[in-house]
Amino acid sequence: MTTPTAPKGSYDTPLPVVLAGARGHGRWHLANIRRLADKGIVRLAGVCELTPLTEEELEGLGTPEQSPDFGALLDSTGAAIAVICTPIPTHTDLALTAAERGVHLLLEKPPAPSYAEFRRMADGVAETGVACQIGFQSLGSHALPAIRELIAEGALGEVTGVGGAGAWARDEAYYRRAPWAGKRRLNGVDVIDGALTNPLAHAVATGLALAEATRAEDVTGIETELLRANDIESDDTSCVRITTAADGRVTVAATLCAEHPGEPYVVVHGTSGRITFWYKQDRVLVQRAGHGPEETEYGRTDLLENLVDHLVDGTELLVTPDVTGAFMKVVEAIRQAPDPAALPAGTWHLLPDENRRVVHGIDGLVASAADTLALYSELGAPWALPTASAKEVSS
C-alpha cells in the first residue's frame, strides 16, 4: 500500500473528484458535486459507470473522463477524492482500491454489508492514512450538537431512552431497481438491503448518535424483529432495540409499507421532557416541563464539503468509520438474525394506483415503538414474531 502523496492541509481547491455510481442515489451526489463545483470547491474529474453518462446528465460539469475501471480512472484523473455510491457489497473493495492510491473517500451508507467487511474496509483505509467520511448526511446536522447541549444542561431531566420512527412507502418497482435490491444475499455474498440498514439507516445512526453510542464498543445488546409484506428476501417492516454500554436504550421502528408516509424522526425521552428531531428537515421540537413547545430549524454541514475542508485546512471530519461502528453492529445483528418472516395474508393489502403494499395499522405501531421504546411484539402486534436477541455484542 502507498501513502497519500500530500499531507492534510496541503490541498488547494478545486479538488478533483471521481464519482463511482452516478445513477440511482448517485444522482444526488452528482447534483451535490455540481453545487460545490459552482462554488469552486471541487471539480468532477471522472465518472465510473458501466454505461457512460450523457451530455444532458453531465450538464454544467464539463467533460469528465468516464470509465467502468475504477482504479484506472483514479490513476488517470489524479483524483484527490472518490465518492463511492455503488451497490453495498462493492463498498469495501472500492474503498480499498481508492485508499491504496492515496485517494480520500466519501463512502455512501451503509459502509458495508457485514461487520467483518466493515472492519476490513476501516482497518485497510486507516493503514493508508487517507481520510474517510461515511455518508450519513443527518450526522452533519447542526441540530445534533444543539440537542446534546440541551441534554447536558438538564433540559429533559434524566434521559430515559431514544426512539426512532420511519414510516415510508416504496412501490414494487423499488425492489426491481437493481439485482441486489431487497436482497439479504446475492450469489453467496451478503447484501442486507433492509429497511433499517439502507433506506432508514439514518434513523438508526442518528438515534445512536443522540444516545452517545456511536462506536462498536458502545453497544452491548441488540434485539431485532424483522418482517416483510413484499415478496423480497429482506425486511420491509422491522424494529430493533439496542442496549448501550451506559445502560441506555435505543429503539427504532421502520416500515416501507406505511399507510400514510411521513417524515422520519428520532425522539429523546427524559424524565421531564422530550426532544423530537425530524432529521431530513433539520427540524427540532423541544417539549419540557415549565416551558411552551419550542421549534427550531437548523443548518447542515455537507459531508463532501466537510471532507474538502478537512483536507484543505484540517477541519475535523464529522463521520469517520469509527463513529459508525455501533451502526455496523446493528447491521451485523440483522445479518445474523433469522430471515425476515412473511406477514400473514390479511395483514396487508395492495394499493393498485401506487402499486405498493400497505401493512394495516403499521403507522401507529411505528410511532408507538418510538414513544415507548417497545418492540412490535411487546405492543401486541398479532403478526409479530418472538424477538431475536444478540444480548452480548463483542467488539
Last residue of a domain, one of 103, 134, 165: 134
Stretch (H or E) spanning 262: none
Within a domain: 8: no
* Distance of alpha carbon 361 from alpha carbon 125, whole angstroms: 44
Stretch (H or E) spanning 389: strand 388-390
- Cell matching residue 294: 419550542
Instruction: Give the Cα-Cα-Cα angle 320, 311, 98 (nearest 5 degrees).
Output: 65
What lies within 8 Å, CB to CB, of 379 at 6+ separation is 365, 368, 369, 372
pLDDT at 395: 47
107 and 223 assigned to the same domain: no
Domain that holds residue 31: 15-134
- Cell matching residue 228: 416483510
262 and 376 assigned to the same domain: yes
Within a domain: 317: no
pLDDT at 385: 73
Could you tell me what percent of the chain has a pLDDT over 70?
A: 95
pLDDT at 393: 58
The helices-and-strands tally (H runs, E runs) of the chain is: 9, 20
pLDDT (tens digit per residue) in 246-301: 999 999 999 999 999 999 999 999 999 999 999 999 999 999 999 999 999 999 99
101 and 216 assigned to the same domain: no
125 and 165 assigned to the same domain: no
Within a domain: 5: no
Taking 50 as the pLDDT cut, the residues of the chain under it are: 1-7, 395
pLDDT at 390: 60
31 and 91 assigned to the same domain: yes
pLDDT at 384: 87
Helices 26-38 and 303-313, packing angle to 10 deg: 50
pLDDT at 1: 38
Q: Is 196 left (phi over 0), alpha (psi -120 to 50) or beta?
A: alpha
Within a domain: 4: no
53 and 168 assigned to the same domain: no
69 and 178 assigned to the same domain: no
337 and 196 assigned to the same domain: yes
pLDDT at 389: 65
Any idea what the CATH number is for the domain that residue 68 is in? 3.40.50.720
Within a domain: 376: yes
What lies within 8 Å, CB to CB, of 266 at 6+ separation is 162, 163, 164, 165, 203, 206, 207, 210, 252, 276, 277, 279, 370
The residues that bridge with 189 in the sheet, in sequence order, are 186
233 and 370 assigned to the same domain: yes
Last residue of a domain, one of 80, 99, 134: 134
* Distance of alpha carbon 39 from alpha carbon 34, whole angstroms: 9
One DSSP character per residue, 135-185 reads --GGGGBTHHHHHHHHHHTTTTSSEEEEEEEEE-B--GGGGGSSTTTT-SE
259 and 371 assigned to the same domain: yes
Within a domain: 2: no
Strands 348-351 and 237-244: unpaired
Any idea what the CATH number is for the domain that residue 172 is in? 3.30.360.10
Distance, CA of 358 to chain centre: 24
Q: Is 88 helix (H, G, I), strand (E, B) or coil?
A: helix
Distance, CA of 260 to chain centre: 23
Last residue of a domain, one of 71, 100, 134: 134
- What is the count of structural domains for the chain? 2
208 and 102 assigned to the same domain: no
What lies within 8 Å, CB to CB, of 119 at 6+ separation is none
pLDDT at 391: 54
241 and 171 assigned to the same domain: yes
pLDDT at 39: 97
